[in-house]
């Protein structure tokens, strides 16, 4: 588990880590509450405008200064597609229209699941958001592959360019590390 819980949210007593319901979990021995942890959902979009894709250079850690598809943690009470739309606006100041779920990418060691949608920019106008040093549209030959922040973005971009040649886009499942 990637996070440490010290106290029970039900009764306030200390919790211990022990085997419960098939795996190690945080359990309160006083009130018997089992505290479940769940992966974080990262919502993002592979945005296209006139055969170019949108990338944002990160202004924040982790991987500050590296390029990434616009993406971020899903907020409470937010639909995943709305999270992708919000994150694209926050990072690139642009509006998008979601077309389909394109990539589901598992990062079990980081307790994260990425959901990247295939989307199109509505007007081609991009800006730098608060979390981006730079936002730009890239042709396939211009992608800064060695400067990509996360494997989820590289996976989605590779799948996009492979399928663009075929003219048909499927939904892809990936996991880090790739085999």
Q: Number of helices (H) and strands (E) in the chain: give both, helices first.
A: 2, 11
Topology of domain 1-37 in CATH is Ubiquitin Ligase Nedd4; Chain: W; (2.20.70)
- pTM recorded for the entire structure: 0.90
Mean of the pLDDT values across residues 31-41?
94
The helix or strand, by DSSP H or E, that contains position 170, with its residue range, turns out to be none
Dump pLDDT digits (tens) for 87-141: 999 999 999 999 999 999 999 999 999 999 999 999 999 998 889 999 999 999 9
For 60-97, what is each residue's pLDDT tens digit? 999 999 999 999 999 999 999 999 999 999 999 999 99
Helix (H) or strand (E) holding 34: strand 34-35
CATH of region 40-175, choose from 3.40.50.300, 3.40.50.10190, 3.40.50.740, 3.90.79.10: 3.90.79.10
115-146 residues labelled b (16+ CB within 10 A) or e (exposed): bbbbbbbeeeebebbebbeebbbeeeeebeee
- Domain extents for the chain? 1-37, 40-175
Helix (H) or strand (E) holding 153: helix 151-164
Write down the pLDDT at residue 87: 97
Query: Which residue in the block uniquely carries the two structure tokens 């479940």?
Result: 36
Q: What is the rounded CA–CA span in Å between residue 47 and residue 57?
A: 15
pLDDT band at 1 (very low <50, low <70, confident <90, very high): very low
């Amino acid at each position: 588990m990637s996070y440490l819980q010290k106290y029970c949210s039900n009764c306030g007593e200390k919790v211990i880590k022990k085997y419960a319901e098939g795996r190690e979990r945080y359990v309160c021995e006083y009130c018997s509450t089992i505290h479940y942890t769940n992966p974080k959902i990262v919502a993002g979009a592979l945005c296209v405008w006139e055969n170019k894709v949108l990338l944002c250079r990160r202004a924040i850690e982790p991987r500050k200064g590296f390029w990434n598809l616009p993406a971020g943690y899903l907020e409470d009470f937010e639909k995943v597609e709305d999270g992708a739309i919000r994150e694209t606006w926050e990072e690139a100041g642009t509006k998008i229209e979601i077309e389909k779920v394109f990539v589901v990418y598992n990062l079990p060691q980081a307790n994260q699941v990425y959901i990247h949608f295939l989307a199109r920019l509505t007007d081609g106008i991009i800006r730098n958001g608060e979390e981006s040093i730079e936002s730009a549209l890239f042709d396939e030959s211009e992608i800064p592959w060695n400067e990509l922040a996360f494997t989820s973005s590289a996976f989605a971009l590779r799948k996009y360019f492979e399928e663009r040649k075929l003219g048909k886009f499927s939904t892809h499942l990936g996991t880090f590390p790739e085999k």
